[in-house]
Amino acid sequence: MMGGFLYALLLLVAAALLGAAILVVVGSIYFDATNSEVPPGIEQPARLRLIHAIIIGTAVVGKILENLHICSQVQFVRYWRNGRKLGPDAKLFIKDMKFKHVPVRIYQPKDPSAGGRKGIVFFHGGGMFGSINAYERMCRYISKESDSVVVSVEYRLSPEHKYPAHLNDCLAATTHFLQTADDYGVDSARVIVAGDSAGGSLAAVVCQTLVGRQGLAKVCAQILIYPGLQALDFNLLYQQNQAVPILFREKAAFYFLHYLNGDVSLLEELLQGCHVPVDQRLRCKKWISADLIPKEFKARGYKPWVPVSCDEEVYQELKNVFVPEVSPLLAEDAVVQKLPQTCIVTCEYDSIRDDGLLYKKRLEDNGVPVTWYHVINGFHGILSFFDNGWFTFPSGKQGLDNVVRFIQSL
């Protein structure tokens, strides 16, 4: 009798779990279908929708686990996204260690080199969810294809750590590598700083900071892959791609607030521009304005945005957005002129595409050589899907190969 009861109970629990799983799947697909926009020009739209539904479903499961006090939503999403460290590689020495206090993973080609190799300091994307494990495939590929030593940096993440923790870790790791490059078979005059998404922003700031440092070898190039470079104006041409997976305009602002001060209650004010005083808006217009974006990018539609009045309390809470360490697009010309040659990757269907376009113009106006790759049918994060089995996007592979060719040309 008791055995039959336990069997029935187990069946009931299993049915409940199955029902919950089905609800999560159906709800995630419904959310994606009703809240996202996948333009017809994007590569493999159905595949992108599925990826986005999985991301949404993971967040929902994480929230359920948080409400059950099993783990936080952030912890669960990180666990799912980060994956595991891959096994040994026949062509690379791979070692985890620390540069000062910062964990790093070093990828070093096994084949002997006639001289000092190029070195790449890489900052992963996802200021809340990224990790060196999540970027393992990309870093291995770059190291092998470009015959370079890659240092992948495990900087501290939001929301536990806020500005300037991420930046301090990236600066510490980069300066340490510049000082010790020879220990890894790297020519210190051939060190490149690179990153994607949030890591691209950190790479830009690190390069700006180091142009004024004495006693260090100069960074020879920077690679900025769909970087976020300012938080003054989320109404450039962002409206075109504001609901395109996998980075909605609102989510970009949400992640930024977690990085800056953790106060996401100011999300709507940030999106509307309530944090920008008139004098700051006028000062920065020469660097951040829809008027500076080439007209071909307005072909899909652009409605000029009418600025709102500044809220002094909001400005005081968010005033750090006006420092170049947070918004590198606002660096003075005297700094920009000293930056190394640059590779910028942008994607047509990326909510923060315009930041890369504006920085390209700033660099070129200041005489900095720029190699620009625009993934015409790409979305934010597409390079990470260069080799993901069924979830592979050919344009991601092409974009990453363009980055490799840039490295090879140095």
CA angle 63, 234, 241 (to 5 degrees): 75
**Alpha-carbon gap, residue 239 to 23, rounded angstroms:** 31
Q: Residue 31 contacts by C-beta under 8 Å, 6 or more apart in sequence? A: 53, 56
Q: Is 147 a catalytic residue?
A: no
CA angle 75, 76, 82 (to 5 degrees): 85
Task: Exactly one of 28, 197, 351, 384 is catalytic; name it.
Answer: 197
- Of the candidates 176, 177, 230, the one whose C-alpha atom is nearest the C-alpha of residue 205 is 230
Under 8 Å between Cβ of 370 and 360: yes
Task: Exactly one of 233, 258, 380, 395 is catalytic; name it.
Answer: 380
Q: Is 197 a catalytic residue?
A: yes
Cα pseudo-dihedral 176, 179, 183, 189, rounded to 10: 120
Q: Is 69 a catalytic residue?
A: no
Q: Residue 304 contacts by C-beta under 8 Å, 6 or more apart in sequence? A: 290
Task: Exactly one of 32, 196, 233, 350 is catalytic; name it.
Answer: 350
Under 8 Å between Cβ of 378 and 386: no
The residues assigned a catalytic role are 197, 350, 380
